[in-house]
Amino acid sequence: MNAIPSNYSNQIPFHIAIDFVIFGYDEEELKLLAAKRQSTDDHQQWSLIRGFLFKNEHLEQAAARIFKEIMGHSSAHLEQLHTYSNPDYESGTYIISVVYYAIIRLSDQNKKLPKDLDAKWFNLKEIQELIFDPENIIDKAIQDLQEHAKTIPIGITLLPDKFTLTQLQAMYEAILQKKLDRGNFRKNILSVELLEKLDEKDKTGSRKGAWYYSFNENKFNNLIDNGVLIKISL
Amino acid sequence: MNAIPSNYSNQIPFHIAIDFVIFGYDEEELKLLAAKRQSTDDHQQWSLIRGFLFKNEHLEQAAARIFKEIMGHSSAHLEQLHTYSNPDYESGTYIISVVYYAIIRLSDQNKKLPKDLDAKWFNLKEIQELIFDPENIIDKAIQDLQEHAKTIPIGITLLPDKFTLTQLQAMYEAILQKKLDRGNFRKNILSVELLEKLDEKDKTGSRKGAWYYSFNENKFNNLIDNGVLIKISL
């Protein structure tokens, strides 16, 4: 049982696809990147971004390569979500799809996608009606992202270096897809003691202004090195 | 980028392996099943149980088939853990390993394994010294199992239909790999209100005896149907 069956490789041509659920946060809502892909019955449909694994690379290397080809940079953390099998008995192909997800800060700059890629950013409601996703991969990625978002600092990278608690709350609301109570949010987020109040206010929203905060990355890394997992009640 | 590259399937013979982290609980400790496997340099070494995906089945079907071949029954819940890539440039093979884990109740009956399978149950300390596991798959499976165990009823299937709180605590201690405070454990586990005290005592441990409990599966399923996730503080 443990050895590769002797005629195994001739018999079964597997293709290893890497599919991406790429979320973008534009300081208002979560968006998702989808691309037009030829379906088996020769229609075009909106699908997850897809690339293929090459023999000279590991899965993580292929994921990073393809992500960079799409986005033009490689600064996001890619998280492996799940692996699906898609045999297509008619055409005789069998695709193994390893799904990764990432969340990036959607500034004007990375809204520009390679021109040869027929891809677009959708909001979540829109895309769930349009996309071909029989396995509910997007839902699963959102759930996983929401679970991870409660662990600082996954979301912090989506904000500028200095931010107000209102901006922080808006980000969590976009990821968790629900409104949070302002008082409880502030109490909970400050209780993990990883935010530093700066000596500066954002005065664009009101005359009184709102204090800017920054994330204390050193303190966070120290906690991680000591095996401490920080989880926010949200 | 979305289409399969034209010469892709001839070029790259991928083998899809399914590897298993199978935990067994024998009412004392967690054990792990490993099998002797031929390594690339022709030595035998203890490894995770492995099978291969066939073209006429989905990943989940293959996992269920292989699990049944090994264990002789198919009553465990198989959870997909992660997918790893193992190119072997010398031999020209490239194995994609999709890892599943399961936990079963280790009674005398299922200690008997198929004779043609050179497999053995090890305790966790023992196996981590013996096994070839450069990706730390076992650690990852334990962490995932521990996270899941806090959600009733993953562990309940490891106990008889009626059990004492002492038995229940021993099970959680085996999974979490740490001692729990007796008072806090009882308070926390009873607070989720899914255990029913029976009108019967276990008198084997002491003259006073310990009440038997059973798990209220109906109530649990009702909560799940209503989208309620029960999590125990442990």
* Residue in chain A nearest B81 by alpha carbon: A82
Mean pLDDT score, B50-77:
90
* Residue in chain B nearest A2 by alpha carbon: B50
pLDDT digits (tens, 9 = 90+) for B155-176: 777 888 899 999 999 999 999 8
* Same-domain status, B132 and B50: yes
| A40 contact B CB<8A | no
Asked whether A145 and A158 are in contact (CB, 8 A), the reply is: no
Domain membership flag for residue A231: no
Looking at A98, A126, A149, which one is the last position of a domain?
A: A149
Q: Which of A101-115, A204-218, B98-112, B122-136 has the lowest mean pLDDT?
A: A101-115
List chain A residues with CB under 8 Å of B58: 85, 87
Nearest Cα residue to A99 out of A148, A68, A66, A54: A66
Tokens of A69: 């080809």
Number of other CB atoms surrounding residue B51 within 10 Å: 20
List chain B residues with CB under 8 Å of A50: 1-2
Whether B14 and A11 lie within 8 Å, measured CB to CB: no
Q: Which of B108-122, B136-150, B152-166 has the lowest mean pLDDT?
A: B108-122
- What's residue B223's pLDDT? 75
Whether B9 and A53 lie within 8 Å, measured CB to CB: no
Whether A69 and B8 lie within 8 Å, measured CB to CB: no
Q: Compute the distance between CA of residue A160 and CA of residue A107 in angstroms, rounded to an integer.
A: 11
Q: Strand, helix or coil at B131? A: coil
CATH number where B30 lies: 3.90.79.10
List chain B residues with CB under 8 Å of A85: 53, 58-60
CATH number where A175 lies: 1.10.10.10
A138: pLDDT strictly greater than 80: yes
Highest mean pLDDT among A72-76, A161-165, B129-133, B157-161: A161-165
Looking at B149, B174, B208, which one is the last position of a domain?
A: B149
Looking at A108, A126, A149, which one is the last position of a domain?
A: A149
| A109 contact B CB<8A | no
Q: Strand, helix or coil at A94? A: strand
Query: At a CB cut-off of 8 Å and minimum separation 6, what does B213 contact?
Result: B162, B163, B164, B165, B168, B195, B196, B197, B198
Q: Which of A14, A45, A56, A143 should one mutate to test binding to chain B, selecting the residue with the greatest count of B CBs within 10 A? A: A14
* Same-domain status, B161 and B127: no
Residue A116 φ then ψ, to 5°: -75, -5
Whether A9 and B9 lie within 8 Å, measured CB to CB: no
What domain range includes position B194? 155-225
* Residue in chain A nearest B46 by alpha carbon: A2
B10: pLDDT strictly greater than 70: no
From the CA of B69, how many Å to the nearest CA of chain A?
A: 9
Mean pLDDT score, A53-62:
93
Cα→Cα distances A47→A82, B13, B152, Å: 17, 26, 36
Q: A72 or B49: whose pLDDT is higher?
A: B49
Nearest Cα residue to A50 out of A18, A82, A73: A18
* Same-domain status, A17 and A123: yes
* Same-domain status, B145 and B159: no
Which of A56, A59, A96 is opposite residue B16, by nearest beta carbon? A96
Query: At a CB cut-off of 8 Å and minimum separation 6, what does B9 contact?
Result: A13, A15, A93
Domain membership flag for residue A199: yes
pLDDT digits (tens, 9 = 90+) for A59-101: 999 999 999 998 887 778 899 999 999 988 777 789 999 999 9
* Same-domain status, A107 and A28: yes
List chain B residues with CB under 8 Å of A37: 2-3
List chain A residues with CB under 8 Å of B96: 14, 16, 59, 96, 98
Domain membership flag for residue A215: yes
Classify the complex by whether its ipTM is higher than 0.90, answering yes or no. Answer: no
| B58 contact A CB<8A | yes
Domains: count for chain A? 2
- The DSSP letter of residue A134 is T
CB pairs under 8 A between A and B: 112
Interface of A with B in 6-25 (CB under 8 A): 8-9, 11-16
* Same-domain status, A160 and A134: no
pLDDT tier for residue B200 given thresholds of 50, 70 and 90: very high
Domain membership flag for residue A90: yes
* Same-domain status, A25 and A137: yes
Whether A15 and B4 lie within 8 Å, measured CB to CB: yes
- What's residue A223's pLDDT? 75
How many CA atoms lie within 13 Å of B165's alpha carbon, on the beta-carbon side?
19
* Same-domain status, B42 and B113: yes
* Same-domain status, A50 and A93: yes
Whether A59 and B5 lie within 8 Å, measured CB to CB: no
* Same-domain status, A130 and A176: no
A147: pLDDT strictly greater than 90: no
* Same-domain status, A131 and A163: no
Asked whether A14 and B14 are in contact (CB, 8 A), the reply is: yes
User: A18 pairs with which residues across the strands?
Assistant: A51, A98
Are β-strands A79-88 and A119-123 bridged in parallel, bridged antiparallel, or unpaired? unpaired
From the CA of B201, how many Å to the nearest CA of chain A?
A: 39
Domain membership flag for residue A211: yes
Domain membership flag for residue A5: no
Domain membership flag for residue A20: yes
Domain membership flag for residue B64: yes
Are β-strands B163-164 and B210-215 bridged in parallel, bridged antiparallel, or unpaired? antiparallel
Q: Compute the distance between CA of residue A28 and CA of residue B202 in angstroms, rounded to an integer.
A: 59
From the CA of A82, how many Å to the nearest CA of chain B?
A: 7
List chain A residues with CB under 8 Å of B53: 12, 14, 85
* Same-domain status, B85 and B48: yes
| A139 contact B CB<8A | no
